[in-house]
Amino acid sequence: MESSSSSSLKPDHVIIWLDKHMSVERNNRTSKIDLATNATLDDVPSNERSLDIDNLIACADEQCHNEQKLDALLKTSLHMFTDKNECLESIQEHLADNKRVFFISSGSMGALIVPDIHDLLSRFIYIFCGRITKHDWAFDYTTDLLIFDHETDLFARLLRDIAKYYISKSEKSSNQANSIEYLKWAFRLAQRANKLDQDDVKFIKTIEKHLIQLDPSQSNDNADDCRIGQNADEG
């Protein structure tokens, strides 16, 4: 049963990443924190730009190397695995908890796990590899996955897909307050995606239009320290 109060809503998406190299704790730490930060919707500070990855890292360096905060971000927003079976178990647990799983894998690990999950996670599977042409196996699952060889493209697409997920939840919700909250989340994610690739302002405007239709006050209110319809970097 749907909650009667938007304040009790919690994001229900989770990102699971299977990669023997990326999952090593100190490897590509900046990239992992970047994705986890952008995908996090809980407890967002009023100033969206305070979540910028450079600021987070600078904060950690300048304030006694606050590694605990960064580690917590990774553990709550992004779940990393090197082992296929452990990853499968996590996917199944999150699905059982009614979470929407967005799954990233390296090309080599994807060849091992995608045959087991493509029905469960169809259209929410993202393969990240150095050279797409090396992974012919992926072309057997073209309706189930997308494949990327550039980090920015992957992260931006993933954020937009999570935004679309919350747009869908908004459309299906019978509770107007919840519908508005889902759209606010989608708007925030779409802005973050656009900060990465500046590729889809139209998508942001579409969410803005739906949000204002549900709640006209949003045309004047601030969201994440920026007005609806403006990019987060403006002002």
Tell me how many domains the chain contains: 1
User: Residue 216 domain-assigned?
Assistant: yes
Give 124's Cβ-side CA count (13 Å radius): 21
Average pLDDT, the chain: 84
Backbone angles phi, psi at 23, to 5 degrees: -80, -10
* Pairwise CA distance, residues 176 & 151, whole Å: 36
Containing domain of residue 185, as a range? 152-229
* Pairwise CA distance, residues 127 & 125, whole Å: 7
pLDDT number for residue 30: 86
pLDDT number for residue 25: 78
Question: Would you call 34 exposed, middle or buried from its count of C-beta atoms within 10 A (0-12, 13-18, 19+)?
Answer: buried
Please report, rounded to a whole number, the percentage of residues in the chain having pLDDT higher than 70: 77
* Pairwise CA distance, residues 217 & 42, whole Å: 23
User: Residue 37 domain-assigned?
Assistant: no
Q: Give me the count of residues in the chain.
A: 235
Short-list 139, 104, 137, 143, CA closest to 123 = 143
User: Residue 145 domain-assigned?
Assistant: no
User: Residue 197 domain-assigned?
Assistant: yes
User: Residue 168 domain-assigned?
Assistant: yes
CA 217 to centroid of chain Cα atoms: 27
Question: Would you call 136 exposed, middle or buried from its count of C-beta atoms within 10 A (0-12, 13-18, 19+)?
Answer: exposed
Query: How confident is the model over 164-183, as pLDDT tens digits?
Result: 999 999 999 999 999 999 99
Query: How confident is the model over 14-69, as pLDDT tens digits?
Result: 999 999 999 887 888 889 988 998 999 974 443 454 445 555 555 545 444 446 65
Please report, rounded to a whole number, the percentage of residues in the chain having pLDDT higher than 90: 65
* Pairwise CA distance, residues 11 & 28, whole Å: 26
Residue that has been written with the tokens 């996590």 in this structure:
90
User: Residue 234 domain-assigned?
Assistant: no
pLDDT number for residue 164: 98
User: Residue 23 domain-assigned?
Assistant: no
Check residues 127 and 5 and name the one with the higher pLDDT.
127
Helices (H), the chain: 29-39, 53-62, 67-77, 84-96, 107-117, 151-172, 176-197, 201-214
pLDDT number for residue 230: 42
* Pairwise CA distance, residues 104 & 91, whole Å: 12
Q: One-letter amino acid identity for 230?
A: Q
Q: Please give the angle made by the CA atoms of 74, 78 and 82, to the nearest 5 degrees.
A: 95
* Pairwise CA distance, residues 107 & 229, whole Å: 38
Q: One-letter amino acid identity for 121?
A: L
Helix (H, G, I), strand (E, B) or coil at 109: helix
User: Residue 65 domain-assigned?
Assistant: no
pLDDT > 90? residue 97: yes
Which sign does the torsion angle of CA 149, 151, 156, 157 carry? positive
